Amino acid sequence: MTDDELLAHLPEIAAVASQVEERLGVWVGTARERRISWARIGASLGMTRQSAWERFQASR
């Protein structure tokens, strides 16, 4: 793959990452609506409760 080909793929990858992040936020929001704790959400994502809250608290 040439440098130009590699660079041409970056926007595609960024768009996919954005879609994944948005969908993950929806799922976390649903978990919080069910009153699942931040500790359990964080554990399922391999992060601390605090990290999960900081990343997703706006998803509520």
pLDDT in tens, 8-47: 999 999 999 999 999 999 999 999 999 999 999 999 999 9
Predicted TM-score (pTM) of this structure: 0.81
Band (58; pLDDT cuts 50, 70, 90) = confident
**Which of these, 17, 14, 31, lies nearest to 53 by C-alpha position?**
31
54-to-15, 49, 51, 59 alpha-carbon distances in Å: 22, 9, 5, 10
Burial label for 42, CB within 10 Å (0-12, 13-18, 19+), is buried
pLDDT of 60 strictly over 60 = no
